[in-house]
Amino acid sequence: MLLDGKQLSAKILKSVKRKLAGKKGKVGLAVILVGNHSASVAYVRQKKLAAEDVGFAFREVRLPISVSETRLLREIEKLNHDKKIHGFIVQLPLPKKISTQKILTAICPAKDVDGFHPLNFGRGFLQLPALLPATPAGILKLLDFYKILLRGKNCVVVGHSNIVGKPLAILLLNRDATVSVCHEFTKDLKYFTKSADIVISAAGVPKLIRANMLKKNCVVIDCGCTKINGKIVGDVDFDSVKKIARAITPVPGGVGPMTVATLIENTFCATENFKF
Ligand code: GUN
């Protein structure tokens, strides 16, 4: 079974568009993009297309790679107070000289539609109302849509980033899965993946997950997104793994569109009297 994120994301966007009807152009989403990292530029373009398609007003704040932390904090403060902007994100990664945590913590939690502010992170972990990080929340939506149950399942998350691996592990735990988190320092990845019912890879390493590392009839979610010779590839060796997995996401067309759709849904939530 192919877990079609493109199709589900289109459904989600259509539903937001319908709910937005009377407020077309009145909901504002902004993205701060520092520099011109090619993957970030492409992600921001997809977010813009989706935002405009559902009827949001989209604003891109483009800053040079040389921008100072102080200037970036000033731009965040402006968006925090801008009544036309209901949600905004700072596209990552940021240049090394800037403290990502300091930047993310400066975003007003009620406008933090990426769910990266410590308050949203913590509230999400505790299952209190919160804006949840888009990729992990999008993956759960995809699993739910295809009726892949999580309670009691052995889930292996590969990658422990703050954007995907860490929050995803907690969201899965909150759904009563048994969760292992593997990462670049894990000694024997296969030892973990071989007994997993669900493997979710967010390592950014092409062909990291191969058929011989998996149990028959497992579910495989690929968050990888690496450009090789102009082509986007995931972490999973799709051609071999599809023969043994019960369900698998394609790259592109799996997790990527779910991230965008969840960001749009979060932005709609941020306009709807979101209460902390
Ligand atoms: N870079 C890669 N994924 C993401 C994401 O979901 N949000 C932001 N802000 N930056 C990213």
pLDDT at 275 > cutoff 60:
no
DSSP codes of every residue in 80-111: HH-TT-SEEEE-SPPPTTS-HHHHHHHS-GGG
Between the CA of 91 and the centroid of ligand 1 the distance, in Å, is 5
Protein residue with least CA distance to atom 2, ligand 1:
92
Q: What is the mean pLDDT of residues 163-190?
A: 98
Q: For residue 66, how many other CB atoms are within 10 A of its CB?
A: 10
pLDDT band at 237 (very low <50, low <70, confident <90, very high): very high
pLDDT at 274 > cutoff 60:
no
Atom of ligand 1 nearest to the CA of 133: 6
Atom of ligand 1 nearest to the CA of 90: 9
pLDDT at 61 > cutoff 90:
yes
pLDDT at 228 > cutoff 60:
yes
- Are 87 and 111 within 8 A, CB to CB? yes
Q: What is the pLDDT of residue 21?
A: 87
Q: What is the pLDDT of residue 96?
A: 96
Tell me the C-alpha distance between 55 and 156, whole Å: 37
Q: What is the pLDDT of residue 73?
A: 98
Protein residue with least CA distance to atom 4, ligand 1:
92
Ligand 1 contacts (CB < 6 A) are 89-92, 114, 134-135, 163, 259
Between the CA of 225 and the centroid of ligand 1 the distance, in Å, is 12
Interval 119-137: pLDDT, tens: 999 999 999 999 999 999 9
Protein residue with least CA distance to atom 11, ligand 1:
92
Q: What is the mean pLDDT of residues 179-186?
A: 97
- Pocket test residue of 31, 72, 89, 131 for ligand 1, highest count of atoms within 8 A of CB: 89
Q: What is the pLDDT of residue 185?
A: 97
- Are 242 and 214 within 8 A, CB to CB? no
Tell me the C-alpha distance between 172 and 154, whole Å: 10
Q: What is the mean pLDDT of residues 34-53?
A: 96
- Beta-bridged to residue 90, according to DSSP, are 32
CA 193 remoteness from chain centre: 22
Q: What is the pLDDT of residue 244?
A: 98
Between the CA of 133 and the centroid of ligand 1 the distance, in Å, is 9
pLDDT at 266 > cutoff 80:
yes
Diameter of the chain measured on Cα atoms: 54
Strand 231-233, strand 226-228: pairing: antiparallel
Tell me the C-alpha distance between 244 and 203, whole Å: 21
pLDDT at 51 > cutoff 60:
yes
Instruction: State in Å, rounded, how far the first CA of the chain is from the last one.
Output: 39
List the catalytic residues: 47, 91, 114
**What are the boundaries of each domain within the chain?**
23-108, 134-256
Tell me the C-alpha distance between 15 and 269, whole Å: 13
Q: What is the pLDDT of residue 273?
A: 61
Between the CA of 238 and the centroid of ligand 1 the distance, in Å, is 24
pLDDT at 259 > cutoff 80:
yes
Interval 11-32: pLDDT, tens: 999 999 999 988 888 999 999 9
CA 123 remoteness from chain centre: 17
- Beta-bridged to residue 222, according to DSSP, are 201
pLDDT band at 82 (very low <50, low <70, confident <90, very high): very high
Q: What is the mean pLDDT of residues 230-256?
A: 97
- Are 38 and 227 within 8 A, CB to CB? yes
- Pocket test residue of 37, 43, 116 for ligand 1, highest count of atoms within 8 A of CB: 43
Q: What is the pLDDT of residue 272?
A: 80
Is domain 23-108 classified as CATH 3.40.50.10860?
A: yes
Atom of ligand 1 nearest to the CA of 259: 6
Instruction: Say yes or no: do domains 23-108 and 134-256 share a fold.
Output: yes
Between the CA of 78 and the centroid of ligand 1 the distance, in Å, is 21
Tokens 């300091």 -> residue: 102
Architecture of the structural domain at 134-256: 3-Layer(aba) Sandwich (3.40)
